[in-house]
Amino acid sequence: MILFWILIVIVTLAVLCALIYVARLSVKETVVFASFVFIISLSMYAIFGAYSQLSLYIDKKAHAQRIQKEIQALGGLDDMIQKMEERVHQNQDAKGWFLLGRLYMRAQRFQDAVHAFAQSNQREPNQPETLASYAEALDLASQQQATSLEARIKIPVRVTLSPALQGKLKGSETVFIYAKAAEGSNAPLAIIRVQVKDLPIHVVLDETMAMLPTATLQNVEKIKIVARISMSGEPAPAQGDLQGESAIIGLNALPDETHVVINGIL
């Protein structure tokens, strides 16, 4: 664009000098003619500049379509990622890791992309394209993680001790507060440990509190909340433990808070 304007200025000055010398234009006529040349120059730039932008857009779109066709020809994005993963684990080269990172980005696997770009940068440090992609992947991975956190199931719970039991405990006893499936296994899907002296207490159970990755709140539709005072301090229920339990709760219609009163004995 700068080169274009330099050329316009040079041509305009040359034409004006020639006209002033040959046609003997007055100052007013020179100003009018200069304005005319300037307007024509703006029009030309608008026309050819817009055409250039349109051509660039068409080229980019065509390039994206070619890439998509190549992906389809190679069996799809998942197959390309698998082949590239096999390549980088064999060769461990910077270019391979970088390409794998770009494939992860296309698949929206941003955390994997962060790892791939880090590996590429480790092998060929401070390459501008790698650093730019690395920064982009870090930002998108952070956003993705934040979105995932917001989407987690959160169950607000309030636990209190029955008035009949208050004053009859030492206060150091362990209290397990957990969610379990309404039917089937009694394994905790989310669990937290407090002490009797902490009661009454408000807690929030979520998926990060699962004991096993295969048994989480995501695996069920209905739950119960259990609060149990373990006299032995062990998670497994035992005779003599004190317990309270909520009614069945649907995870698709969680209440603002679930109140559990510890008022029974096992």
The DSSP annotation for the chain comes to: -HHHHHHHHHHHHHHHHHHHHHH---HHHHHHHHHHHHHHHHHHHHHHHHHHHHHHHHHHHHHHHHHHHHHHHTT-HHHHHHHHHHHHHHH--HHHHHHHHHHHHHTT-HHHHHHHHHHHHHHSTT-HHHHHHHHHHHHHHHHHHHHHHHHS-EEEEEEEE-TTTTTSS-S-SEEEEEEEESSS----SEEEEEEGGG-SEEEEEEGGG-SBTTBSGGG-SEEEEEEEEESSS-SS--TT-EEEE---EEGGG--S-EEEEE-EE-
Using the predicted structure, report yes or no on whether residue 46 has a pLDDT greater than 60.
no
Q: What is the share, in percent, of the chain residues with pLDDT greater than 70?
A: 70
Q: What is the mean pLDDT of residues 71-91?
A: 77
159 or 146, higher pLDDT: 159
Q: What is the pLDDT of residue 79?
A: 82
Using the predicted structure, report yes or no on whether residue 105 has a pLDDT greater than 80.
yes
- At 153, the pLDDT band (50, 70, 90 cuts) reads confident
- At 51, the pLDDT band (50, 70, 90 cuts) reads very low
Q: What is the pLDDT of residue 32?
A: 60
Each residue's pLDDT tens digit, 114-141: 999 999 999 999 989 999 999 999 999 8
Using the predicted structure, report yes or no on whether residue 107 has a pLDDT greater than 70.
yes
Each residue's pLDDT tens digit, 166-197: 888 999 999 999 999 999 888 899 999 999 99
